[in-house]
Amino acid sequence: MSDTGTDFGGLRALFINTTLTRSPAASHTQLLVDASASIMVKQGVAVDQFRAVDHPIASGVYPDMREHGWEVDAWPELFPRVLAADILVIAGPIWLGDNSSETKKIIERLYAHSGELNERGQWLYYGRVGGCLITGNEDGIKHCASNVLYSLQHIGYSVAPQSDAGWIGEAGPGPSYGDELEDGTRAGVDNEFTQRNTTFMTWNLLHMARMLRDAGGFPAYGNQRREWDAGARFDFPNPEYRS
């Protein structure tokens, strides 16, 4: 039970780190993932995570790219971990002012399942919550976050208030998040803006996930593909309607 009086036990979260750095080498993004994940763990949330670059995930927009010319594709084995999570956080770096290639690949593979339905006849990701964490030593947090959050909501994830956080250093070459500086301190870790936004993001994800889970998912009226195909129009104005 948290200080809010809400029990977050039973929730599951998945962090996908889209760094370009393979394990076990240090990842700047991982440090910010750990900060958010630690808050969730303290509240009894089951937290899962992986680095996309550690797995041979094929490029493409189909659920299994082995059926489309690729010899190897780890996504079909990883995807059940996505479905098991009430909360999905995509975390990644900024390169050339944009999301990493691994970030884009993960979004494309999530999109591959966007035509599938859940047990209520809604798109598959309905009832789940999405967020993102961005790191880098160049400008672009809001640009990168807007791309990730737009993509997640478009395929069915719910986006809570202030569902992004990040850290960037000074313009130009310089230290990345968590790098040791000459005075022995670490870049960014004591930045109050980053600490605040990461904390707010994490709690907002928890709150929305709890509300959706307790409500049995996102309300299933006006958004069911099978009902629409069967002729339901959910009160859409008739063709002769004129504003």
pLDDT tens-place string over residues 206-216? 999 999 999 99
CATH number at 12-229: 3.40.50.360
- Comparison of pLDDT for 110 and 189, the residue scoring more: 110
**Taking Cα atoms as reference points, which of 195, 133, 138, 192 lies closest to residue 170?**
138
Find residue 168's DSSP bridge partners: 136
Length reported for the chain = 243
pLDDT of 158 > 60? The answer is: yes
SS (HEC) of 158-220? ECCCCCEEEEECCCCCCCCCCCECCCCCECCCCCHHHHHHHHHHHHHHHHHHHHHHHCCCCCC
What's phi and psi for 13, nearest 5 deg?
-130, 145
**Residues in contact with 42: Cβ distance below 8 Å, sequence separation at least 6, in sequence order:** none
Task: Output the pLDDT for position 238.
Answer: 72
Q: What is the pLDDT of residues 36-58, one digit of tens each?
A: 999 999 999 999 999 999 999 99
What is the pLDDT, as a whole number, of residue 59? 97
133-149 confidence digits (pLDDT tens): 999 877 788 999 999 99
Q: What percent of the chain has pLDDT over 70?
A: 96
- Measure the CA–CA gap between 159 and 236, rounded to whole angstroms: 25
Which range (5-9, 55-59, 60-64, 206-210) has the least confidence? 5-9
- Whole-model pTM: value is 0.91
Q: Is the model more confident about 108 or about 138?
A: 108
